[in-house]
Structure 1
Amino acid sequence: MKKVKVSKKSPSSDYREVLIEELKGDEKAQYAYLKASLEENSDMPEVFLKAVETVAKARGFSGFAKKTGLNRENLYRIFSNERAPRLESLVKILDALGFKLTITPKKAS
Structure 2
Amino acid sequence: MSTADQLTEYLQDLNPTHLALENESMQHAGYFEGKESHFKLTIVSDAFAGKRPVARHQQVYALAGPLLTSAGGTIHALAIHAYTPDEWAATGAAPDSPLCAGKNI
Q: TM exceeds 0.5?
A: no
Q: Which has the higher relative contact order, 1 or 2, with Cα contacts under 8 A spaced 6 or more apart?
A: 2
Please identify which structure carries the higher strand content. Answer: 2
- Please, what TM-score do these two structures have when normalized by structure 1? 0.29
Using the size of structure 2 for normalisation, the TM-score is 0.29
